[in-house]
Structure 1
Amino acid sequence: MTTFSQILAQELSLSATQIENALSLFAEGATIPFIARYRKEVTGSLDEVQLRTIAERHTYLTELEQRKSVILNAIASAGKLTDELKAKIEACQQKTELEDLYLPYKPKRRTRATMAREKGLEPLADWIESMNTPEVKSVSLSEEAAKYISPDHKLNTVEDVLQGASDILAEAVAEKADLRAYLRDYFMKSGVFISRIKKDYPEGTTKFEMYREFQIPVKSVAPHNMLALLRGEAEGVLKLELSFDEDYVMSYLESEEIYTKATLLREFYQTMLKDGFNRLMKTSLTTEVRSDRKAYADAESIKTFEANLRELLLSPPAGMKPTLAIDPGFRTGCKVAILDETAKYITYQPVFPHQGSQKREQAAKTIKHLIETYQIELIAIGNGTASRETDEFISEVLKTMERKPIKVMVNESGASIYSASDLAREEFPDLDVTVRGAISIGRRLQDPLAELVKIDPKSIGVGQYQHDVDQKLLKKKLDDTVESCVNYVGVDLNTASAQLLTFVSGISPTIANNIVTYRNQQGAFKNRREILKVPKLGPKAFEQSAGFLRIRNGDNPLDNTA
């Protein structure tokens, strides 16, 4: 029997030993950043991307095996498990294929086929199926169906009886795994997505105008197009359809399911297949194709979001220098916060440079006074409302000064989310949310990574349609990116916040809080081994985390490396 390691080795073009060793390290609780950096000799120098792929595929295969076990038990309990079916189920490598095999045996709500069986029409359906052979040249369906007429079961005519038998056969055809797999693949390769804007929306009145009369092959639809189409449909603006050649589909089904040369029986089967496809296959297969394209669009878009987030998190820090941070605004004024060279909050002062010349002059005096008093070296301006006007105002102020701080426009996405969070309230319980927002903008300039980890990655604004993709997958991938960036850079053990420490390999939220508490009580750490004195931080956590923690001016110069 093929093992997970062999399957993954073949899929990823790696050796089984590499896969086995990586899985073994995962089982021991080792994190991906730790394995990628400090266990290269064990894994054959697998990088983070390869390790995450192994972990994700292993999870998928594990879930698949668990599902197989449930399905096999369910079919066996019903007394319908054959050796052939068991072999097919055990050989499955995809969840879609597995569910196709299970479909005929899956408990169902009461269907037309179920009701036909309750009326005793299954023997007739079996007889009709037995007549569907090349040897049968003619057959009297009416004569055989007449035997099943029963007013008690509301089978008053031959037509009623044959319709019931057709319902049973149609359901059986619709549940055949090989037919479903072929048609699903056909839809994927030859289908076309067609969208139209509903009549309620005149031309030029929606943000989906490019999709007013839009069509694109299913296999070619770009991720952003797919997400836009689905958003338009969800908002009730677009009507989205999957178009395909129905004549080709019916021709395929007939070639696969009709064997008889008897004219009446062929006509019966043609009608049954058309009903079975339109009623029982078309909608479900269309849904599956849409889901597949949505999953692909999610995965590709999230890759872009990951790249955007990584670029943002790893933006070069301006350095720990005295900073004047401005959260711009028109009506409510500009919120100005002063931070020292350790990012500690010093003071706050609102100014109103956009409310008349008198207030603008007063604002200029205030800014100059703050710059001179606190020896400001950096000015961070949030890029939100009034940012351009505020940037011009600060430029005017700096022209009148001999010593000019460096002025930088800072992406403020998510600052308002952070300023109203529990974490911000805990850090600055006595400050207004607007002040917290300005502080966050300043700290983003000093050290982007340390500040941005405090914010839910989804709130940073990493890309268009981020709210349309699978939110569970998005959170996992963005959290993985934050973890990767933090461990790539390393953190200063004596200045890192508890929030930042939680992303370090091997450190849980509880341990992170204990580190900060110990540091506040005992003073700065002098060497890495000292963290073993922190409650709940044992040898395993130390092994995982030590290499990613830096100590400046400690006992050992090597402790300042990560």
Structure 2
Amino acid sequence: MTALVQYILSNTQLPKTSVENTIALLNEDCTIPFISRYRKERTGNLDEVQIGEIVKNKEQFEALEKRKRSILKAIEEQGSLTPELRDTIESTQDLTALEDLYLPFKRSRKTKADKARQNGLEPLAKIIMSQNANDIESIGFKYVKGDVHSVDEALEGARHIISEWINERSDIRNHIRYQMERNAMILTKAVKTKKEEEQAQKFRDYFDWEEKLSRIPSHRLLAILRAESEGFIKVKITIDDERALAKIEDRLIRSRNACAEQIGLAIADAYKRLLLPALSNEALQIAKEKADEAAITVFAKNLKQLLLGSPLGEKRVLAIDPGFRTGCKVVCLDAKGSLLYNETIYPHPPKNDSSGAIKKISSLCEAYKIEAIAIGNGTASRETEALIRKIHFKNDIQVFVVSEAGASIYSASKIAREEFPNYDVTVRGSVSIGRRLQDPLAELVKIDAKSIGVGQYQHDVDQVKLKKELDTVVESCVNAVGVNINTASISLLSYVSGIGSKLAENIVNYRNEHGIFKSRSAIKKVPRLGDKAFQQGAAFLRIKGAKNPLDDSAVHPESYNIVEKMAKDLGEEIASLVGNEKVLSAINLNKYCTSTIGLPTLEDIVKELKKPGLDIREQAKVFTFNQNIKTINDLQEGQLLPGIVNNITNFGAFVDVGIKESGLIHISNLSDGFVSDVNAHVNLHQQVIVEVLEVDLPRKRIQLKLHKKN
């Protein structure tokens, strides 16, 4: 068993064979979606989350090994690497323990102990630590020479050396870490010169705050750290100093002579100057990392729900980006999302041309055979929705309010400029709103995920970890839904398993030059798309209207021969087999098992044949806010209102009730019983009925209670 496998097994509860085979597949450059879907026999049917855990632990192990090599090289260059130390470093499986081993050899700047050593005081420090001398001052007098001018200076220098030894002892550091882990408190105090500033008021709850560090919720810690970074508060981590010092003394002092007194002074110095600052910072950093992880998990869950939001599908859409003074930007899109027409109307103040706007919308809907209207949920959204609902359309047209989150980011992006080089940002923004209704996933992948705004404190967490996690979520969602290769953008194609941005660009260029792909096998003609990329990505790419119906399914091309054999054995054509649940349910799958294809894959194939290319997402539903609620002043306690969940955090869910301010359903108001996970009770963009509990007009805060889920 390799060290890597051993490391992963020690951190997970996964079977050894599954881990070994998954590592082998990852080393073959297979992606998580491909492995989880098409290599179930090799992984023991591991899902994406479990494979993700293996990937995470594999990366941690590789980072640990890299750090070991760096440390061994640095110590060796100092001439201090012994065989015993090498063995200890190489066997260490914890990064913190590794850094403790390296601490005595880590010299970034000259320390007080270094200066004392230069002055020849290390022998005196050793004598004191032996605790055998009684007249330490007389001994200390022998070291008064050169830059050491008195016995006190000699003893002080010796204590600095002892302090450094104490600081470098792993057992002492681990003891204080234990105290930090169990008992550390986080204390905050307002910066007096800044506490009255307007920007400071949102942090006023933390002007004088105290809480156990191990119990502080992630959102609160991130808020406190943001307040500190903006200069409004000061943060301190504390433990019981007397208890910590007493424990160190118990480990080091075994006499009652003058040496013990010097060691006691060195302990106090080491604790205050070296140990406490470093380990309290370490404890805060660990807490921050846990808070980051919790916040990133929340963001990832929200993003997944958002990306898998209900699509309207291929319908002709009129999209409106509402506004007052600058007007409402209107665009008409065909069923594929192509821009057909754009114009600006001015139904609201200051122009108030509502009659002209109504006529224009009516004529556009008729001229372009519009089937649905998408209205952005930003400024003037409610007023625009009210205007649209006054119009008597000749045909049945559904009206939707669509989230604008991140639309401005897209409209100013390189992608948008390339898509619409001859149009300004306002037109691009309206197109994005309309396309979000048609297919949220296809449109939202064009935006940097963290700009969508469905997380908590996303700008305060580790940005590298955040990007990696969100990219994984996007990749998972894109491959779970599948991609129409003949209509997909470069952005969407780039998230398909095994494709990436360069191959995505090649696919689109090839499509533009040679026309649509008529079969999956034709994908191999794309420049630089080799066998590996085809293996990883082909099954996630759909060919609508293909001659072979399997090309528009999640059945992998490597399994087409199995379906062909099934059809032949049944005396059916593949086309007549597809969708024939009665016949498919009667197939004896054991008959088709081989050394590499087992029941998990065969069951997936039959499931897909029953409903090929089935979209896992629900269909978009029309939603209407209470038309009498236009501002926060219209809210009253006890009101029941329809709303849409627009953000989920660890402490509750935010709900759009049709006004500028979103209301909060605190986690305690999601159910009459105890709630541990907000996501278990509500989903992003879910339609709900809420009860107004409290309206804080000065702070513009709304407290809600979940009444009913739609």
TM-score range, shorter chain: over 0.9
The reply on whether 1:73 has 2:68 as its aligned counterpart is: no
The reply on whether 1:251 has 2:246 as its aligned counterpart is: yes
The reply on whether 1:409 has 2:408 as its aligned counterpart is: no
Separation in structure 1 between the aligned mates of residue 539 and residue 12 of structure 2, nearest angstrom: 29
The reply on whether 1:147 has 2:142 as its aligned counterpart is: yes
Deviations 1:345-397 (A, max 9, x none): 00101011112575111111111111111111111111111112111111122
Corresponding residue for residue 165 of structure 1 = 158
The reply on whether 1:522 has 2:517 as its aligned counterpart is: no
1:330–1:386 Cα contact (<8 Å) kept: yes
Aligned-residue offset at 1:301: 0.6
The reply on whether 1:477 has 2:477 as its aligned counterpart is: no
- Partner AA of 2:444 in structure 1: L
- Partner AA of 1:240 in structure 2: V
Q: 1:108 to 1:428 in 2, by over 3 A?
A: closer
| 1:208 counterpart SS class | helix
2:128–2:262 Cα contact (<8 Å) kept: no
- Partner AA of 1:520 in structure 2: N
| 2:211 counterpart SS class | strand
Aligned-residue offset at 1:6: 2.1
Aligned-residue offset at 1:241: 0.9
Deviations 1:267-289 (A, max 9, x none): 21111110111111111111101
Separation in structure 2 between the aligned mates of residue 203 and residue 434 of structure 1, nearest angstrom: 35
Separation in structure 2 between the aligned mates of residue 484 and residue 437 of structure 1, nearest angstrom: 26
Corresponding residue for residue 239 of structure 1 = 234
The counterpart of 2:216, out of the listed 221, 224, 227, is 221
Aligned-residue offset at 1:526: 1.1
The counterpart of 1:364, out of the listed 346, 358, 361, is 358
Separation in structure 1 between the aligned mates of residue 350 and residue 79 of structure 2, nearest angstrom: 85
The counterpart of 1:182, out of the listed 159, 175, 190, is 175
The counterpart of 2:531, out of the listed 539, 547, 551, is 539
Corresponding residue for residue 37 of structure 2 = 37
State the TM-score, normalizing by the size of structure 2: 0.76
Separation in structure 1 between the aligned mates of residue 291 and residue 366 of structure 2, nearest angstrom: 52
Aligned-residue offset at 1:97: 1.2
Aligned-residue offset at 1:257: 1.2
Aligned-residue offset at 1:253: 1.0
Range moving further from structure 2, 101-110 or 66-75 = 66-75
Corresponding residue for residue 123 of structure 2 = 123
Corresponding residue for residue 47 of structure 2 = 47
Separation in structure 1 between the aligned mates of residue 81 and residue 422 of structure 2, nearest angstrom: 68
| 1:33 counterpart SS class | helix
Separation in structure 1 between the aligned mates of residue 92 and residue 216 of structure 2, nearest angstrom: 28
Aligned-residue offset at 1:520: 1.5
| 1:401 counterpart SS class | coil
- Match runs of 1:371-390 below 5 Å: 371-390=365-384
- Match runs of 1:413-428 below 5 Å: 413-428=405-420
Separation in structure 2 between the aligned mates of residue 181 and residue 279 of structure 1, nearest angstrom: 17
Corresponding residue for residue 302 of structure 2 = 308
Separation in structure 1 between the aligned mates of residue 225 and residue 68 of structure 2, nearest angstrom: 32
Q: 1:161 to 1:358 in 2, by over 3 A?
A: closer
Corresponding residue for residue 92 of structure 2 = 92
Range moving further from structure 2, 503-512 or 292-301 = 503-512
Q: Which runs of 5+ in 2 are unaligned?
A: 555-710
| 1:366 counterpart SS class | helix
Corresponding residue for residue 350 of structure 1 = 344
- Partner AA of 1:58 in structure 2: K
Deviations 1:104-142 (A, max 9, x none): 121231111101111111111111112x2xxx4x60111
Separation in structure 2 between the aligned mates of residue 278 and residue 468 of structure 1, nearest angstrom: 29
- Match runs of 1:495-510 below 5 Å: 495-510=487-502
Aligned-residue offset at 1:86: 3.2
Aligned-residue offset at 1:511: 1.5
Aligned-residue offset at 1:185: 2.0
The reply on whether 1:494 has 2:489 as its aligned counterpart is: no
Deviations 1:200-232 (A, max 9, x none): 214986101211221110110111011001000
- Partner AA of 1:517 in structure 2: N
2:520–2:543 Cα contact (<8 Å) kept: yes
Q: Any runs of at least 4 consecutive aligned residues in structure 1 with deviations exceeding 6 A, and if so which? A: none
Separation in structure 2 between the aligned mates of residue 497 and residue 182 of structure 1, nearest angstrom: 56
Q: Write 1 or 2 for the structure with the bigger share of helix.
A: 1
Separation in structure 1 between the aligned mates of residue 108 and residue 485 of structure 2, nearest angstrom: 58
2:311–2:440 Cα contact (<8 Å) kept: yes
Corresponding residue for residue 268 of structure 1 = 262
Aligned-residue offset at 1:2: 6.0
Corresponding residue for residue 449 of structure 1 = 441
1:410–1:444 Cα contact (<8 Å) kept: yes
Deviations 1:415-471 (A, max 9, x none): 111111111111100001100000000000000111111111011112120100001
Aligned-residue offset at 1:83: 4.4
Q: 1:469 to 1:456 in 2, by over 3 A?
A: same
Range moving further from structure 2, 167-176 or 83-92 = 83-92
Corresponding residue for residue 27 of structure 1 = 27
Percent of aligned positions with the same letter in both sequences? 47
- Partner AA of 1:467 in structure 2: H
1:104–1:176 Cα contact (<8 Å) kept: no
Separation in structure 1 between the aligned mates of residue 382 and residue 247 of structure 2, nearest angstrom: 63
| 1:337 counterpart SS class | strand
| 2:498 counterpart SS class | coil
| 1:242 counterpart SS class | strand
| 2:120 counterpart SS class | coil
1:125–1:165 Cα contact (<8 Å) kept: yes
2:324–2:350 Cα contact (<8 Å) kept: no
Superposed CA RMSD in Å reads 1.5
| 1:553 counterpart SS class | coil
1:195–1:239 Cα contact (<8 Å) kept: yes
| 1:207 counterpart SS class | helix
The counterpart of 1:552, out of the listed 544, 551, 554, is 544
Separation in structure 2 between the aligned mates of residue 233 and residue 508 of structure 1, nearest angstrom: 40
Separation in structure 1 between the aligned mates of residue 471 and residue 326 of structure 2, nearest angstrom: 35
Aligned-residue offset at 1:30: 0.7
Q: 1:357 to 1:68 in 2, by over 3 A?
A: closer
Corresponding residue for residue 104 of structure 1 = 104
Q: 1:496 to 1:203 in 2, by over 3 A?
A: closer
State the TM-score, normalizing by the size of structure 1: 0.96
1:203–1:209 Cα contact (<8 Å) kept: no
2:238–2:280 Cα contact (<8 Å) kept: no
| 1:335 counterpart SS class | strand
Aligned-residue offset at 1:316: 1.4
Corresponding residue for residue 436 of structure 1 = 428
Deviations 1:475-495 (A, max 9, x none): 111011000000000000111
Range moving further from structure 2, 18-27 or 62-71 = 62-71
Separation in structure 2 between the aligned mates of residue 148 and residue 514 of structure 1, nearest angstrom: 76
Corresponding residue for residue 338 of structure 1 = 332
Q: Which runs of 5+ in 1 are unaligned?
A: none
Separation in structure 1 between the aligned mates of residue 323 and residue 175 of structure 2, nearest angstrom: 59
Aligned-residue offset at 1:75: 2.5
- Partner AA of 2:156 in structure 1: Q
2:331–2:343 Cα contact (<8 Å) kept: yes
